[in-house]
Structure 1
């Protein structure tokens, strides 16, 4: 699918079965995500204040997790990215564990290094970056106490 065609309705139809499969299988899913590390991000809507859940690939880094706001190469950032910018305190599910995290966007050389790692792990990320004029954000999710 062209990344620019991703709509909220499409995302909901796509995300719901992935979330169900993730929870039924202790964090493992098949299909397009088979063999990839997946987490569920629970963020607070920037405008609505409602909790939103999004599955996404991640890389472990420095005791936390990195996620990538690719939106399949769309020209706009995904809603979850805007949610984290407005409300950086969130929760994630990794496997069967649920953690509180704080989000922080990486910039400069650190962002470039971590995105290169993502491309090495998930070659489709390079396609996503080529498909858009924006720089795909890399967001660090760091566990917090409590």
Structure 2
């Protein structure tokens, strides 16, 4: 029997129609329809670590603090997600919020900071928080302790807006 702590189940990336549905928001952003998502979703432009090509990912905004110039996003597919690894390699990038672009720098939160973020997020979005826990194979008991544990398992990234491009 192993003494290792259980880790969240690794989720396979969607394929077929599920991949199309998951990538549909990128198409909407590129067509100038980003305003549909308000400040709930953003389009992250990132540069491939190996290819150097421009890549895009639509992410949910977990926390939005325009006064501080901060947005926090989470990697539901863990630290192995391509966009997450690309930001680790090149943290200065651009996001699109609505139809506006902003220069940002990625800062990677610690597990304890992630626990705090998830504890604040869960009361605002209880159904989505429980689904995220289930999606990751974590207990979705609906308690603060359970959500904090999920927050330790999920990598969070703070996107800090540059001085020349404050968030709306």
TM-score, with structure 1 as normaliser: 0.75
Deviation at 1:38, TM superposition (A): 0.5
TM-score, with structure 2 as normaliser: 0.67
- State the partner residue of 1:32: none
Higher Rg of the two aligned structures? 2
- Deviation per CA, 1:107-136, whole angstroms, max 9, x where unpaired? 1422211122333433222223435x9821
Deviation at 1:101, TM superposition (A): 0.3
Deviation at 1:84, TM superposition (A): 0.4
Deviation at 1:8, TM superposition (A): 8.3
- State the partner residue of 1:57: 60
Gapped regions of structure 2 (runs ≥ 5): 1-8, 139-149
Q: How large is the Cα RMSD of the aligned pairs?
A: 3.1
2:24 is the counterpart of 1:4: no
2:143 is the counterpart of 1:135: no
Q: Report how many residues are paired.
A: 137
Q: For residues 10 and 49 of structure 1, do their structure 2 counterparts lie closer, same or farther at Cα, with a shift above 3 Å needed?
A: farther
**Partners of 1:42 and 1:89 in 2: CA distance:** 10
Gapped regions of structure 1 (runs ≥ 5): 30-34
Q: For residues 99 and 9 of structure 1, do their structure 2 counterparts lie closer, same or farther at Cα, with a shift above 3 Å needed?
A: farther
Q: For residues 100 and 113 of structure 1, do their structure 2 counterparts lie closer, same or farther at Cα, with a shift above 3 Å needed?
A: same
Equivalent position SS for 1:49: coil
